[in-house]
């Protein structure tokens, strides 16, 4: 089916692995939780209340990771999941400038770092869009040439 499908699957497997590891880590490993805060450039007050409120986020991340397994195995057969991740990454990117002041005040993430994080989410969304559309096009062309 082509390189675009393989690259799309690879990106989805990365998304799957990331969400499952981080989601489980948030629930079971303070070290992973702190590493993720550092990755985002966040300065966090690790109060018991804050640590607990992250646990439902971890559960959502694990479920997203499990959904990504289905998409990675058959992206063209699971377009709603692929499009759901595209939407998630776009929303996460839009949240960065929209809530930039709050992010800075709550977590000390400077605007430049916040924009870098925004760019990362937009890049993920864009890669998914490009690879998904390309894989769909290759599939259509393959099916059209096979039906002649």
Q: In the predicted model, is pLDDT for residue 56 greater than 80?
A: yes
3 contacts: CB under 8 Å, gap ≥ 6: none
Lookup result for tokens 């709603």: 80
Average pLDDT over residues 59-84: 97
Give the pLDDT confidence of 93-140 residue by residue, as tens digits.
999 999 999 999 999 999 999 999 999 999 999 999 999 999 999 999
Determine whether 84 is exposed, middle or buried from the number of CB atoms within 10 Å of its CB (0-12, 13-18, 19+).
Answer: middle
Domain span holding position 123: 3-137
- Residue 24 lies inside a defined structural domain of this protein: yes
Domain membership of residue 142 (yes or no) is: no
- Residue 148 domain-assigned? no
What's the chain's average pLDDT?
Answer: 94
Residue 148 has pLDDT above 70, yes or no: no
Q: Quick one: what percent of the chain has pLDDT higher than 70? A: 98
Residue 143 lies in a domain: no
Determine, yes or no, domain membership for 68. Answer: yes
Total number of domains in the chain: 1
Residue pair 119/141 in contact (Cβ under 8 Å)? The answer is no
pTM over 0.75: yes
């Amino acid at each position: 089916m082509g390189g675009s499908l393989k690259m799309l699957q690879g990106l989805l497997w990365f998304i799957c692995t990331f969400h499952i590891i981080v989601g489980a880590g948030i629930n079971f490993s303070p070290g992973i939780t702190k590493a993720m805060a550092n990755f985002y450039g966040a300065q966090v007050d690790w109060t018991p209340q804050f640590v607990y409120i992250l646990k439902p986020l971890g559960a959502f991340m694990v479920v997203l990771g499990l959904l990504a397994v289905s998409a990675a195995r058959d992206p063209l057969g699971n377009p709603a999941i692929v499009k759901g991740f595209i939407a998630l990454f776009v929303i996460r990117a839009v949240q960065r400038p929209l809530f930039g002041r709050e992010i800075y005040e709550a977590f000390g993430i400077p605007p430049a770092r916040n924009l870098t994080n925004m760019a990362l989410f937009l890049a993920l969304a864009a890669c998914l869009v490009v690879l998904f559309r390309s894989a769909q096009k290759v599939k259509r062309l393959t099916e059209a040439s096979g039906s002649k």
